[in-house]
Amino acid sequence: MSTQTLDPAVQERVNAWLEGSYDDATKSEIRRMLDNNETTELTNAFYKDLEFGTGGMRGIMGVGSNRVNRYTLGMATQGFSNYLNDTYPNEDVKVVIAHDSRNNSDVFARMVAEVFSANDIHVYFFEALRPTPELSFAIRELNAHGGVMLTASHNPKEYNGYKAYGRDGGQLVAPHDKNVLAEVRKISDIADIKFEPNEANIETIGEAIDNKYLDALVKQSISKEAIQNQKDLKIVFSPIHGTGGVMVPPALKRFGFENVITVEEQMTIDGNFPTVVYPNPEEEEAMTLALRKSAEVDADLVMATDPDADRVGIGVKNLDGEFELLNGNQAACLLVRYTLDAWEKAGKLTGKEYVVKTIVTSYLIDKIAASKNVECFNTLTGFKYIGEIMTKLEGQKTFISGGEESYGYLVGEHARDKDAVISCAMIAEMVAYYKDQGVSLMDALVDMYLEFGFYKEKLVALKKEGKQGAEEIQAMLEAYRTNTPTELGGSKVVTFKDYKTSVSKNMLTGETEKIDLPSSNVLQFFTEDGSIVSARPSGTEPKVKFYCSVNQPLASKEDFKKVEAQLDEKLTTLLKDLGAI
């Protein structure tokens, strides 16, 4: 317990909550924290307002302006309502609201729906929990003007969040996110929030939208004959106590898979996520039960989705016949390669197709796309930027697939957000396609490396919580800017990109170029031997992330383990040189 005094600015915010029109329970909790001299907790809860990051608003639940609670979400919704009503003054404004399995998500969703309704906005309200991608689909299907998903995605159980969506079904991007924030900041008193609902404006939705969503997914299937031949493909699936349990099994069934084995312990809807430390399929620990079940039944494929079913982790048998988890870059590369190959085989490539990835996702995808003469766009981190490109190109070009290294992928144009439901179905189809040819997914991965080069990526995240942690992260990035490394992993740094200043610098000649992407606090180092290191603060968690990518040719399947070991060693050296490990 800290004995420090509160910063005057923080104390002023605390006093405003104690003196404002907040409920008694909120004020009692603040007084308890003051009485116990919990200055660090109070500082972290009040030192700033909760703002939109790469994944919307996300934070720990509790009292305070930097916490997820009735008031911070109420202000966000009131500001969003004001923005929508101002933007579409002559229209009957409509929004869609959904929530995941997190504690309080259903309560927050109802409160958000009530605030919208009180602002004369028609609300389509999902009757029960649904995946994030279905919300994105529903906004487009119902011709709504926006939407909100109550979720903190894969964060720990203490978190919740608020993803705001625009008319295109994508998360808000500039200038809309900033304009909504400007409206939120105009709210000087919580009395300005219209909490009293107009029930006539709230319409419950459910099964009809579910069926339309599933119908849209089935249209993405390409290798129907392979699925028919491999309909008994043994698939183990876990929703990790979340919304994936609602939609993934039905989607797999509609695709034609008849042997889906669920991890029963994790099929229960529970916001405490009792069987895992973190409900994040990026973490090997979260996949433990699914992997155990896979070994028991000798499965062909294991998949697990996060609580709002926009991310999926997968496991397959490696070259030694043991189950191994693929990382997000490997899965994204395999999925892009499969969809492009399948489109080409079906004669569907016309020259107007494209894929999209983020700048921190494997550049192997760029090479795969180039081999098919398919354009590959690179965006900032955050699927909202992928959705933004899709909206800009709608009607001009055809999006095939894309994604990001953080286990989020999309196949098809039915949504504008990453979709673990279609990803699960298409990954299963991909495994069926290769198995039908007598090839495992791991064999397909090695074949891909033989053709394009062995790409290996690694992500390291340093956790730095609270106000002090945020300051340390900024100081670390500024140090890289002012004292840019000239060598990493024994190779010269040839290009340094600072996305905050939108400048790309040739480290050998000093020449600079403008980066044609929105400003973002991201740094990238490109070395002479083709290695790439990116550093950025997370937009959803108190972390600074380092993304490393190395590559070299793979001459034969027999060299796989030797080359992998060499690349692993190189990744470690790069991270050490940057001080990330």
Per-residue pLDDT at 2 exceeds 50: no
Give me the phi and psi of 518, to 5 degrees please: -60, 150
State the pLDDT at residue 580: 84
CA proximity to 296, closest of 274, 264, 273, 319: 264
Residue-wise pLDDT tens digits, 110-161: 999 999 999 999 999 999 999 999 999 999 999 999 999 999 999 999 999 9
Check if 72-211 and 454-578 are the same fold: no
User: How far is residue 244's CA from residue 427's CA, in Å, rounded to a whole number?
Assistant: 15
Residue-wise pLDDT tens digits, 469-509: 888 889 999 999 999 999 999 999 999 999 999 999 999 99
Residue 75 near residue 66 (C-beta atoms within 8 A): no
User: Would you say the C-alpha torsion 5, 6, 11, 15 has a positive or negative sign?
Assistant: negative
pTM for the complete prediction?
0.94
Task: Determine the 3-state secondary structure of 491 from DSSP.
Answer: strand
Task: Determine the 3-state secondary structure of 501 from DSSP.
Answer: coil
| Domain made up of 230-452: CATH architecture | 3-Layer(aba) Sandwich (3.40)
For the annotated catalytic residues, the residue numbers are: 153
CA angle, residues 129, 131, 135, in degrees to nearest 5 = 95
Domain ranges across the chain: 72-211, 230-452, 454-578
Tokens in use for 308?
Answer: 């709002």
**Relative orientation angle of helices 105-118 and 70-87, to the nearest 10 degrees:** 40
User: How far is residue 440's CA from residue 319's CA, in Å, rounded to a whole number?
Assistant: 9
**H-helix or E-strand spanning residue 182:** helix 176-185
| Domain made up of 454-578: CATH architecture | 2-Layer Sandwich (3.30)
Tokens in use for 110?
Answer: 């109802």
Confidence class for position 56, pLDDT limits 50, 70, 90: confident
User: How far is residue 43's CA from residue 14's CA, in Å, rounded to a whole number?
Assistant: 9
**Relative orientation angle of helices 364-371 and 441-452, to the nearest 10 degrees:** 80
Contacts of 565 (CB under 8 A, 6+ apart): none
Residue-wise pLDDT tens digits, 67-125: 999 999 999 999 999 999 999 999 999 999 999 999 999 999 999 999 999 999 999 99
Strand segments (E) across 76-219: 94-99, 122-126, 146-150, 159-165, 202-205
Tokens in use for 291?
Answer: 């992997």
Strands in 260-262's sheet, in edge-to-edge order, are 260-262, 235-238, 301-305, 312-317, 323-326
Residue 141 near residue 212 (C-beta atoms within 8 A): yes
Per-residue pLDDT at 3 exceeds 50: no
CA proximity to 88, closest of 163, 166, 185, 197: 166
User: How far is residue 235's CA from residue 440's CA, in Å, rounded to a whole number?
Assistant: 14
State the pLDDT at residue 53: 63
| Domain made up of 72-211: CATH architecture | 3-Layer(aba) Sandwich (3.40)
Give me the phi and psi of 543, to 5 degrees please: -140, 155
User: How far is residue 152's CA from residue 159's CA, in Å, rounded to a whole number?
Assistant: 6
CA proximity to 214, closest of 269, 176, 252, 257: 252
Give me the phi and psi of 378, to 5 degrees please: -115, 135
Confidence class for position 393, pLDDT limits 50, 70, 90: very high
Lowest mean pLDDT among 61-65, 158-162, 178-182, 510-514: 178-182
Long-range contact list for 35-43, CB < 8 A, 24+ apart? 36/1, 37/1, 37/2, 37/3, 38/1, 38/2, 39/2, 39/3, 39/4, 39/5, 39/6, 40/2, 40/4, 40/466, 42/6, 42/10, 42/14, 43/6, 43/7, 43/10, 43/466, 43/467
